[in-house]
Amino acid sequence: MKKYFLGIDLGSTTSKAIIIDEEDRIIGRGITNTRANYTVATEIARLEAIYNARFSLLKMKLEDETEHNPEYKRYISDVESVFQYLQFKRRLDRLNVQFRETIDETYGGERREKITGFIEHIVKGIGPAILLEYLNGSLGKKNPFFRDIVSEKYNKEVNELPKEYFEPMMLVYDKSISHVENELTNYDFKELIEHSMEVLKEKYGGMDVSGLKEHITFVANLDIHITNMVGTGYGRALLPFPEKSIRSEILCHAFGAHAVFPGTKTVLDIGGQDTKAIQVDSHGLVTSFYMNDRCAAGCGRYLGYIADEFSISLNELGPLAIEATNEVNICSTCTVFAAAEIRELLNVGQKRSDILAGLHRAIVMRAMSLLARSGGVRNEFTFTGGVARNQAVLKYVSELVLKNYGDDIKINVHTDSIFMGALGGAMFARRS
């Protein structure tokens, strides 16, 4: 039986899971937003990584066939999208039940009827719209987490309703979403994948997929045996893992980054609540590290706060900042003061993109100071963490690293940057 290893990174904002095989190859990834119930967050990320691993194994198995038949490749990719949608849909159905319970508990008479009607209308609309987005792959630009997907659509609809219903509708949502988010929904992989194929029957009407079925069944029934696992991240002490399976996120990030880019000497990790500057030796062993203390300005949460101030989604921040033509100088990087500064700048007529560019630069300056305190940047430099996906942050990090430490510094960023901690954890699991 093949052995697989799991790494879980329970961060302050997102929980990540990575599954690797015996050659340290990533075969499964799972990510969800961290919520009050850490066990649920971990379990969701873990299950997602296992489902993702099944799809990865399926793709590996079908490599030869998909090469000759590109349609198969597209089909499998669509099956995976619909599979994800069906998980979403099941949660949405559960949320719908919760909505009704909340309404019954909170409102009566005509108000109850009205609100029930609005909710029915909204929920009915969300499902099909989301299916399309899953199939078009357009969810990627946003946060693909259940709460974010639903709240975006929900808020939009609520804004169209008569004003007096705004507060009751938001109350119903707030009371219901946490409840659903903190419970675990069970799925049967085989059942969901068959259902996915059913959904796609119409789209791929003419295509003979009988040859794939056997492989799909094989992968669905495959026992993905997790031989060992390691947990890391801020919430690691709360993970239901034995003590020896808990590792510090500093070590895991460094180990993961070093595995992906073996030339790494300095790692900058910007996560939800902390920024870490880590120096590693040629074995990927940490020699020193420096973290922000007492203030989370400059981390992912700061960006989230800024996005809220601008009423845009987190993923829209970077692209907007990149469009800047005249970057504004931001003095305050305090998260709380930033809001006041933003309003002041908007008042005096500064452009949103220029302000955003200034904000991005300001937070990168903080990271640069942390890097300097940790001993500077040594070649090669690897940038990890969720914030590394923000193009504007990446732009300023690259600019300032090259400017301060020389043009010959090689800068590494991986599409899996957010998973580096979980990857390091999985690699520790394989080695212990």
Partner 1 sequence: MAKEVAKERSMILQKEMITGLFKELGNVKETGKKVVYTFVPGNISELILSFGMLPVYPEINALQSGMRKKSGDYIRDAEQHGHSEDVCTYVKCDVGMMLNGNIGPTGEKIPNPDLLLLSYTGCFTFLKWFETLERLYPGVPVALLHTPYQEAHKITPEMTAYMVKQLKEEVIPKMEKVSGNKYDEEKLKSLLRNSSKVEDYIVKIFDTTKNRPSPIDAYFAGVYYIGPINSGFRGTPEAVDYYGELYKELLVRIDKRLGPITPEGEMEEERFRLVVEGPPNWTHFREFWKLFYDMGAVIVASSYTKVGGVYDMGFRVNPDKPLESLAEYCMNCYTNLNLQQRVELLEKCIVDYHADGFLVNSIKSCNSFSAGQLMIMQQLERKLEIPTGFIESDLVDPRYFSYSNIKNRLESFFQMLEQRKMILTR
Q: Which residues bind partner 1 (CB under 8 A)?
A: 234, 247-251, 279, 281, 283, 285-291, 293-294, 373, 375
Q: Give me the numbers of helices (H) and strands (E) for the chain, helices first please.
A: 15, 9
Smallest gap from residue 248 Cβ to partner 1 (A): 4
Of 250 and 257, the one with the shorter C-beta distance to partner 1 is 250
Smallest gap from residue 269 Cβ to partner 1 (A): 12
Smallest gap from residue 283 Cβ to partner 1 (A): 6
Write the single-letter amino acid at 138. Answer: S
Of 178 and 369, the one with the shorter C-beta distance to partner 1 is 369
Q: Where are the extended beta strands (E) located within 213-264?
A: 226-232
Smallest gap from residue 290 Cβ to partner 1 (A): 6
Q: Where are the extended beta strands (E) located within 254-389?
A: 266-270, 275-280, 286-291, 381-384
- What is the DSSP-derived secondary structure letter of residue 388? G
Of 234 and 381, the one with the shorter C-beta distance to partner 1 is 234
For residues 120 and 127, give the distance between their C-alpha atoms in angstroms, rounded to a whole number: 12
For residues 116 and 343, give the distance between their C-alpha atoms in angstroms, rounded to a whole number: 38
Q: Is 246 helix (H, G, I), strand (E, B) or coil?
A: strand
For residues 382 and 425, give the distance between their C-alpha atoms in angstroms, rounded to a whole number: 18
Q: Where are the extended beta strands (E) located within 353-401?
A: 381-384
Of 193 and 280, the one with the shorter C-beta distance to partner 1 is 280
For residues 1 and 144, give the distance between their C-alpha atoms in angstroms, rounded to a whole number: 33
Of 192 and 277, the one with the shorter C-beta distance to partner 1 is 277
Question: Would you tell me how many other CB atoms lie within 10 Å of the CB of residue 327?
Answer: 17
Smallest gap from residue 38 Cβ to partner 1 (A): 15
Smallest gap from residue 427 Cβ to partner 1 (A): 12
Smallest gap from residue 216 Cβ to partner 1 (A): 41
Q: Is 290 helix (H, G, I), strand (E, B) or coil?
A: strand
Of 68 and 294, the one with the shorter C-beta distance to partner 1 is 294
Of 288 and 404, the one with the shorter C-beta distance to partner 1 is 288
For residues 157 and 173, give the distance between their C-alpha atoms in angstroms, rounded to a whole number: 12
Give one DSSP letter per residue of 74-96, joined into a string.
HHHHHHHHHHHHHHHHHHHHHHH
